[in-house]
Structure 1
Amino acid sequence: MKLKIYLLLILFFLVSCKKEIIEPAKTENKFYDKAYDFLSTGEKDSAFIYFNLAQNTFSQNKDSARIGNSMVNMAILQSEAGDYYGSQETSLGAIKYLNKKEEKLYPILYSNYNNLGITSRNLGDYKNAVLFYDNAIAFATSQSEINTCLNNKAICYKFLENYSASLQIFKDVFKNIDPVKDQKGYARIVDNLAFVKFLQNKNYDAEMDMNAALKIREKAEDLWGQNASHSHLSDYFADKSIEKSLFHAHRMYEISKKIKSPDDQLEALQKLVDLENPVHSKKYYKIYVNLEDSLTNVRNKAKNQFALIRYDSEKNRVDLLKAEAKNIENRYQILQRNIALGAVFLAFIFAVFWNRKRKERLKQEKIFEVKNTALKYSKKVHDVVSNGIYQVMSEIENTSEIDKEGLLDKLEIVYEKSRDISYEDLTGNADSDFKMQIANLTKSFSSETLKTIIIGNEEILWSKIPQDLKTDIKLILQELLVNTKKHSEAKKIILKFEIVANRLQIAYSDDGIGFTNNIEKKNGLQNVETRIFSQKGNLTFGETTGKGANVFISFPLKKG
């Protein structure tokens, strides 16, 4: 929504004064709209109150642009009421809310800096007034606004008695004035230019130009302009013609009352006191004193009123902030409670979910454990019973005379081992001489057609091997021997044991048909591989298809 601004251009000290109301579009802020309603009917005190209320409402909504606009309007109202210091404070405070990069805010920025220029000039701070007018020019949106600020700037240089700078500005403005389209602006420049030339050079004849400007203003019914012309002409004739000076002073006084400008009335009365005869001078002096006292009282009252309004507003704002802080604190406590309840609820849901998952995991682990147990016993039956029986069968096959008692003893051992599987007692006589166990194992597979050669089967070597590893090695070798006997058609088996770099290395080879390129690891070889890997060992099959089988096994040994 386009922002509008109530522009009050109050030009004191011989500058034409213009008041303009730009009606804004309606907003959602009822205080803001009401302020403009009061402004349009001339109820300026009420307008100030509602602009202040609107500012507080916009502050809650963080509407910076309208906060600044409300404050600029308040500052202009303060300036018009003569509260120049209060006006400056409000205008300066508005700057931080107005984004200088937004072109739609240029009219507001222009009015604000122009107001700061006016208040500074009315406080006699002409140097700062010049700086504020320069800022206003930077945000002017028309040549008319630029000319107004330049005119005011030139007036400041006049009061600083820098007549050269003042004249140069008036001459520059004169070049940009269209006497047809802007008769008031043209008359103002002609009048000011002539008057400043007179101030610079008391012998300069300014009467013709100033009278020409007055006639233009009278034709245009520009009372503010006529007021300024009569002021200049009265000062111009003060040392040349008392009658003419007095005439223009009276005209200024009459017009200043019509335009209701107390400052111009005081200026006119001051001239009349200085120019009139003693009788009339005394009368005008009394009027001057009464008016000055009245104006001072009115302005002091306005200052106090504005200050009181701001104080009450600030107090209400603080109370509102306290109430909001209390509400926030209450909402925070409710939020904390809700978070705690939510956390408890989530913890409960998590506990239920975790417990359910735990039960499912335990169930799966139980199933897995049962499967592993079944697989474990299946392996043991294969390794202990099947291979044990096959070993006995091989021995019978390779022996010409059967020792019935010995055969029964061996079958008894296999039977005992099969019965002890569930008790994990598979070591048999592992504690006996392991060298002899390995020798008897290989011998049981030897025959006239199959010879077994063992290298490195020494007691000193097996003394360095842990008992659990010995058990696995015996079962691994038994599986390999069974596999060779069944499938390889080998005539010779070589088995070598040695310890290298703290690792037990076993090399198993035969001269049979060998392994295929893609070795199919059925139960037997799968069990071999599983046992090797369970002891963190390595297993390698040599690629010797048609030339025999080579198997390399190694196990890490603990340093000690």
Structure 2
Amino acid sequence: MKFSFLVLFFIVLAGCDRQGMPLQGTTGKAKDSAAYFYRRSGEDTRDKDEKLLLMNRALTRVADHRDPLLLKILSQKIYLHNTLGQYDSSLYYADELIKFSGLQSDTLYLAKGYYRKSRIFSYLKNPEESFRNAIESKKFYLAVGDSSQVGRRLVEMAIALGHLGDYSGSQENATESLSYLDGKKDSLYLSSAYNRIAISYRKQKLYDYAIEEYKNALRFVSSAKDSIIILNNIANVKRDKSEFDSAVGILTGILDEVSAKNTILRARIIDNLAYTKWLQNPETDVRSALEEALKMRLEKNDMEGLQASYAHLSDFFEPIANARAVAYAKKYLEVSTQYKNPEGQIKALEKLVYLAGPSESQEYAKRYAVLSDSLGIAQLRVKNAFAKIKFDYVREEQQKLKYKTEKEKAELLLKKKKTENLILFTVVIGLAVISYLWYALQRTRAQAKISREKQEAIYNTEIRLSKRVHDELANGVYNVMAQLGEDNSNKEILDKLENIYTLTRDISRENTSIDTGNRFEEELASMLGSYPEGTAKIVILGLEDIPWQEISAEKKIVLYRVLQELMTNMKKYSGATLVAITFAKTPKTLQITYSDNGVGIPSGKLKYGNGLRNTENRILFVKGSITFDTEKGFRAEIQLPC
């Protein structure tokens, strides 16, 4: 039996104290009993390691697994191992406590055993198992009629579901807990319940309701620290509502109340205050405050706080130093992964997809898609598991009832059947939703691949045709011209052939391959500068300010061809004497404006011939847009996503 092995193991351990000598005062039967060591371990003057040593000695002296003292010893051992961070040991003894509580039919200690186990999984950042054990503990506390403990377990279940992303389930459990908790002895849990309800409302963007529930939480706080935490949460909701003055006022007020010794809380307030000021006015220099908060969190290894710091620093550096923004986003991803926070990982990946270079961005996009899918499936699984656990609990309670009449039995069986059908329907719908989402994702990826392949095929075809026009047609025309060149009677024919030759040479030039590497800026400028003839003048602004290395090759080719088409149209039809092309970069788009002072096209007479249609098609291939204005001269505005 596992218990017998345990006793033998601790007999060896418990014979000596930490210096290898017998404990003072242990001689005699009364001073060598399990009750004696258990009582001594409860003395406040002892440190945790010494208490644990005494508890081990008490355990070795339990002769019968039916002894009620065994359950007390196991429960206290679990608590001590938890305080020392020895979670493997505490998890083992939690299972032992549940086992021996069952053997002794002690419902109260069964409830305590599952509660202890729930707390262990909470420390281990495993909210799903924490939730499962908390609901088991709640069931046994209900059986012994301890309403206060039932309410506390419901709050812990709400917290676990919140960590799993099931905010509706979290809100449901927190709300239910309010009917069990006592306003005097459970004030801390009442505050936590209202706080959890407020968090759920904030996640749903119901900000006014969230503030109302945070104020309810303030009514039950038992310390200045708890008040500061909730006021900080209210300030964050105010920030969400863009009520920056109010948020800054709250955070400034509570910062002075935070003790310098409370590094973690002080870092949270400093970070939130700096970030809020920056959102209020991006010109505000809050870098030193953000970095101060980060340093404090690093010193305390505050994993939850570090995620907020890295996210805020990435946002701060995004418009001024992209490399640093990327570095902090990567740190955000790393810490949220270590902390097992899927929401944080998704937010970090969103930043990296947008901020990183093309090759890295694609890899992060793949990780984002996989994680997003898995998170959705996990949340659905938790919701279904929650429904199943509730159903099993209802079924168990139903089976305990004594049927008074056959009618009551029939009614209960019918209710059970309906509940089973509802669960089955929920599971089927859930699986159908997951299947549809998976199919939609695969279809989107396939369409994106086809789009890229089409664009690449068009580009390769252009190059191939350009080469044939140059090598076969243009050279053939040139050879005929050479043969007729000595005969003056062929002058008219030579002129026509020369025009054909010039035309084919231009077509070839317009469809040659494009260098999308480091020389793209130079090649684009050369192409634009080659068009003006006679009195026409071209002005190019902002070309050298664009970080072309961050723009994909596909978009560079599209932009080059579109501008080439616009310049060709200008040369052929507009009669313009001035052409202006400006380039500008925003965080999300590349903006190009083309305008000339040519003849324009009257309103309502703009026709989409092959040139304009090809131009629009190219832009649409890369998810961009183009608009035309032809009332005064000709103007085109192009936007490409970065």
TM-score (norm. length: structure 2): 0.45
Partner of 2:134: 51
Q: Which residue of 2 aligns with 1:105?
A: 186
Q: Residues 361-383 of structure 1, C-alpha deviation per residue, up to 9 Å, x if partnerless? A: xxxxxxxxxxxxxxxxxxxxxxx
Check if 1:36 corresponds to 2:119. no
User: Is 1:86 aligned with 2:185?
Assistant: no
Question: In the alignment, what sits opposite 1:535?
Answer: none
Pairwise CA distance, 1:60 = 4.4
199, 216, 219: which is aligned to 1:135? 216
Deviations 1:214-266 (A, max 9, x none): 11212222222222111101101111111121111111111111111111111
1:221–1:44 Cα change, 3 Å: closer
1-structure distance, mates of 2:313, 2:187: 37
Contact 1:177 1:185 (C-alpha < 8 Å) held by counterparts: yes
**Do 2:107 and 2:144's aligned partners in 1 also have CA atoms closer than 8 Å?**
no
Q: Which moved more, 1:30-39 or 1:297-306?
A: 30-39
The structural deviation recorded for 1:319 is: 2.6
- What does the per-residue CA deviation read over 1:441-486, in whole Å, with 9 as the maximum and x for residues that have no partner? xxxxxxxxxxxxxxxxxxxxxxxxxxxxxxxxxxxxxxxxxxxxxx
DSSP 3-state at the match of 1:97: coil
Residue deviations 1:165-196 (CA, integer Å, cap 9, x gap) = 211110111120112x1111111111111110
Q: Closer, same or farther in 2 for the Cα pair 1:206/1:98, shift >3 Å?
A: same
- Structure 1 residue 46: deviation in Å? 4.6
Residue equivalent to 2:402: 323
- Write the letter of the residue equivalent to 1:68: G
Q: 1:159 aligned to 2:240?
A: yes
State how far apart, in whole Å, the 2-side matches of 1:45 and 1:223 are: 20
Displacement after TM superposition at 1:61 (Å): 4.2
- Cα offset for 1:157? 1.0
Which deviations, in whole Å up to 9, do the C-alpha atoms of 1:390-425 show, x marking residues without a partner?
Answer: xxxxxxxxxxxxxxxxxxxxxxxxxxxxxxxxxxxx
Pair 1:187–1:58, CA change in 2 (3 A): closer
Structure 1 residues 51, 257: closer, same or farther in 2, change over 3 A? Answer: closer
Q: Provide Cα deviations, 1:19-61, integer angstroms capped at 9, x if missing partner.
A: xx9x999995234212223224326545434433443444344
Name the CA shift for 1:105/1:282 in 2 (closer, same or farther; >3 Å): same
- Matched-pair contact (CA < 8 Å) for 2:114–2:136: no
Q: Which of 243, 257, 274 in structure 2 is aligned with 1:194?
A: 274
* CA distance 1:58–1:201, change in 2 (3 Å): same
Corresponding position of 1:183 = 263
Indicate the residue corresponding to 1:120 in structure 2.
Answer: 201
The alignment partner of 1:323 has SS state of coil
Q: Contact conserved, 2:113 with 2:137, CA < 8 A, in 1?
A: no
State the 1:267 CA deviation.
0.8
Aligned to 1:41, the other structure's residue is in SS state helix
Structure 1 unaligned residues grouped into runs of 5+ = 1-20, 330-560
AA partner of residue 184 (structure 1): I
Measured in 1, the distance between the counterparts of 2:344 and 2:206 equals: 20
CA distance in 2, matches of 1:231, 1:35: 37
Cross-structure match for 1:244: 324
Judged with a 3 Å threshold, the aligned counterparts in structure 2 of structure 1 residues 234 and 168 are, in CA distance, closer, same or farther, namely same
* Contact 1:53 1:313 (8 Å CA) reproduced: no
Distance 1:323 1:45, change over 3 A: farther
Contact 1:113 1:135 in 2 (8 A): yes
Identity rate of aligned residues, in percent? 30
Task: Indicate conservation of the 8 Å contact 2:134/2:156, yes or no.
Answer: yes
Aligned equivalents of 1:115, 1:150: Cα separation in 2: 14
Name the CA distance, whole Å, in 1 between partners of 2:114 and 2:205.
31
The question of whether the paired residues in 2 share the 8 Å contact of 1:87 and 1:119 is answered with yes
Aligned partners of 1:255, 1:49: CA distance in 2, in Å?
26
Q: Which amino acid aligns with 1:245?
A: A
How many residue pairs align between the two structures? 304
Distance 1:216 1:58, change over 3 A: closer
**Hey, what's the Cα distance between the residues in 2 that align with 1:325 and 1:71?**
32
Q: Higher relative contact order at CA 8 Å, sep ≥6: structure 1 or structure 2?
A: 1
Aligned CA-pair RMSD? 2.7
For 1:285 and 1:147, the matched residues in 2 are separated by 38
- Contact residue 150 and residue 177 of structure 2 kept, 8 A: yes
Q: Deviations over 1:134-165 (max 9, x none)?
A: 11121111122111111111111111111112
Indicate how the Cα distance of structure 1 residues 40 and 73 shifts in structure 2: closer, same or farther if over 3 A, else same: closer
2:253 aligned with 1:172: yes
Matches within 5 A, 1:5-24: none
Q: Which residue type is aligned with residue 355 of structure 2?
A: L
Distance in 1 between residues matched to 2:356 and 2:128, nearest whole Å: 38
Counterparts of residues 386-425 of structure 1 (less than 5 Å): none
How far is the alpha carbon of 1:93 from its aligned partner?
A: 1.2
Cross-structure match for 1:65: 148
1:148 aligned onto 2:229: yes
Deviation at 1:273, TM superposition (A): 0.5
Aligned partner of 1:207 in structure 2 is 287
Q: One-letter code of the match for 1:288? A: Y
Match for residue 41 of structure 2?
A: none
Counterparts of 2:175 and 2:321, CA distance in 1: 46
> Of the two, which has the highest radius of gyration?
1
Rounded to whole Å, the distance in 1 between the matches of 2:157 and 2:168 is 13
1:327-347 Cα distance to aligned partner (Å, 9 max, x none)? xx9xxxxxxxxxxxxxxxxxx
**1:221 aligned to 301, 308, 317, which one?**
301
Matches of 1:220 and 1:52, distance apart in 2: 33
Give the partner amino acid of 2:389.
Answer: I
Matches within 5 A, 1:488-503: none
Letter in 1 for 2:177: A
SS at match of 1:29: helix
Q: 1:90 to 1:282 in 2, by over 3 A?
A: same
Q: Residue type matched to 1:33 in 2?
A: K
Q: CA deviation at 1:89?
A: 1.0
User: 1:77 is matched with which residue?
Assistant: 160
Q: One-letter code of the match for 2:156?
A: N
1:288 aligns with 2:368: yes
Q: Is the 8 A contact 2:131 2:160 kept in 1?
A: yes
* C-alpha contact 1:35 1:46 (8 A) present in aligned 2: no
Q: Secondary structure at 2:301's aligned position in 1?
A: coil
Classify 1:31/1:126 alpha carbon distance in 2 versus 1 (closer, same or farther; 3 Å). Answer: farther
Q: Equivalents in 2 of 1:62, 1:141: separation in Å?
A: 26
- Paired letter, 1:189: I
In structure 2, stretches of 5+ residues that fail to align are 1-89, 409-642
Deviation of 1:126 after TM superposition, in Å, equals 2.0
Q: How far, CA to CA, are the matches of 1:107 and 1:140 in structure 2?
A: 6
Matching residue of 2:346: 266
**Closer/same/farther in 2, CA of residues 54 and 325 from structure 1, 3 Å limit:** farther
Aligned AA (1:192):
N
CA distance 1:63–1:38, shift in 2 (3 Å): closer
